[in-house]
Amino acid sequence: MEFNTLLLFALTVLPLICTPGPDILFISSQGLSGGMKSAWVANAGVISGYLTHALLSVLGLAALVSASPILFHLLKWVGVFYISYLAVKMLISACKKGQLALNASKTSHLFRKGFLTSFLNPKGLLVYLAILPNFIDNHNDIATQSLLLSGIFITTCLIIYGLLGTFFAYIGLKGGLSEKRRRYNDGIAGGLLTFAAINLALN
């Protein structure tokens, strides 16, 4: 593929990636409440969800979802309910007393949660159904082109989400891990996820 085509694709998806949505808000909330490790584990889970989207797109399954509005909307509402569930858990945590313990039990399920957050996010499907096909030359190997464009999208997500997660982890840990700050951080994290669920439901 020509460099200009790859660059144009990157510039096209960049605003979409930077738009606050379930992925960004989930990673940011985990960095805020759980620190650097939680942010990067959540980021890895989110990226794995988009890798799965890329593979399904190459296999043609994304076209099946595109052809069935019922499947697309079902996926959307499953995502809304799942993110709402995560928001409620964070808000409940904010209401509980006790120090924050950053250990394996705190982050053991973040990868799975991150995966589901991105896999159930229609933004990824829209990239593969509405944007990516416009940059593919039908006269060349479609699968290879799709994987190359997907690599650009996923790498950009990894970098931007990683920077945001690191930034919020720094903010969350700067003042120490007192009970008051822990509950304050969990409350903000729950609010961010609530906003993400509402935004996903309305769009």
Whether residue 2 is predicted with pLDDT greater than 70 in this model: the reply is yes
Predicted model pTM: 0.72
What pLDDT is attached to residue 66? 59
> pLDDT grade, residue 156 (50/70/90)?
very high
Tens of pLDDT, residues 86-140: 778 778 877 877 554 444 335 668 899 899 888 887 777 778 777 787 788 777 7
Tens of pLDDT, residues 43-90: 999 999 999 988 887 776 556 665 667 766 776 787 678 778 777 877
> pLDDT grade, residue 28 (50/70/90)?
confident
Q: Percentage of the chain surpassing pLDDT 90? A: 16
Tens of pLDDT, residues 174-202: 655 556 666 776 777 778 778 767 876 77
Q: Percentage of the chain surpassing pLDDT 70? A: 78
Whether residue 3 is predicted with pLDDT greater than 80 in this model: the reply is yes
Q: Mean pLDDT for the chain? A: 79
Q: Residue with structure tokens 């209401």? A: 95
